[in-house]
Structure 1
Amino acid sequence: MLTDLYELYRQMLREKIVFCFSGPVSQHVVEGIGATLKLKMEIEEQDINTIQRVFSIFVEQMQNLMNYSAERISQDKDGGDLGIGIFVVGFKD
């Protein structure tokens, strides 16, 4: 398994993937990932326009997962359900 994980890590580096999430999506997850992405881009000194574009696309895609994912899981607290999906952020040169 460690070999597979290392290969995944290497592939993410080759593909310039900076963030990957897989699982149920709640508002708390969106807020946490959003804050992490913003901080990562600020640390990497991305320009403000890039940060705003990435963040805007991120919010839209996560809302799509929350609201329209065909795969769902029951949420215990509120009685509703959560969409499940994969979200990946990468950069091209």
Structure 2
Amino acid sequence: MDNIDLFAMRERFNSQQIMLCFNGPISRSLIEEIGNALRNYLAADHAHPSAAMDVFAVYIEMTQNISHYTRSKGWNEQEAGATVVVSRNEDNRYVVSAGNLIESGDGQSLVVAIDQLAQLDKAGLKAAYKEQLRRPRDAERASGAGLGLIDIARKSSAPLQASLQPAADGRSFFSLRAVI
């Protein structure tokens, strides 16, 4: 294994204003621990309370979605890994990004649903949220773009961005980015 250049990694993280980064298997307890660290970081960063709450809520929703999905597939620890990054953009807004392996078909459907959400304004997102609330829940079906994703879109100050990159064995790496 090659030596990891931590200084170069640090410089890259600093230049991209990355404040928190995680890559690996994710569990409920880990989601909670990283969430606590994120809360502490946001407090130390003097984040506006509503922004801090939104960043935390989006982080929780994204990581729980990953955890639920990989658990529903029965994947092993390596397959169930996630990559989560919280950073700032050039406008000094918080950016929450998360990604994981996903069945390619599931990923394509999810990207389409997120692209549709990205086309909606605040009023459209509110209407979509209310419509989703009224829909009967089908326990047999994965939720796709359910309340959680609509809520992320509502908390975001810019349209959600999703991407899918092909991986092995009929899977892809799904990435979701929300700007708060």
Q: Which residue of 2 aligns with 1:29?
A: 30
Q: Which has the higher helix share?
A: 1
Q: Which residue of 2 aligns with 1:62?
A: 63
Alpha-carbon separation, structure 1, partners of 2:62 and 2:74? 15
- Residue 80 of structure 2 corresponds to residue 88 of structure 1: no
**Relative contact order (C-alpha < 8 Å, sep 6+): which is higher?**
1
CA 40–33 in structure 1, closer or farther in 2 if over 3 Å, else same: same
- Residue 104 of structure 2 corresponds to residue 73 of structure 1: no
Amino acid across the alignment from 1:64: N
- TM-score, normalised to structure 1, is 0.81
Give the drift of 1:72: 3.3
Equivalent residues of 1:71, 1:85 under 8 A apart = no
Structure 1: segments with no counterpart, 5+ residues: 75-81
Identity %: 24
Give the number of the structure whose alpha-carbon radius of gyration is greater.
2
CA 83–56 in structure 1, closer or farther in 2 if over 3 Å, else same: same
Alpha-carbon separation, structure 1, partners of 2:36 and 2:53? 12
CA 28–55 in structure 1, closer or farther in 2 if over 3 Å, else same: same
> What is the DSSP-based 3-state SS (H/G/I as helix, E as strand, rest coil) of the residue aligned with 1:72?
coil
- TM-score, normalised to structure 2, is 0.44
Alpha-carbon separation, structure 1, partners of 2:6 and 2:74? 25
Q: Which residue of 1 aligns with 2:142?
A: none
Structure 2: segments with no counterpart, 5+ residues: 93-180
Alpha-carbon separation, structure 1, partners of 2:66 and 2:43? 25
Alpha-carbon separation, structure 2, partners of 1:84 and 1:71? 12
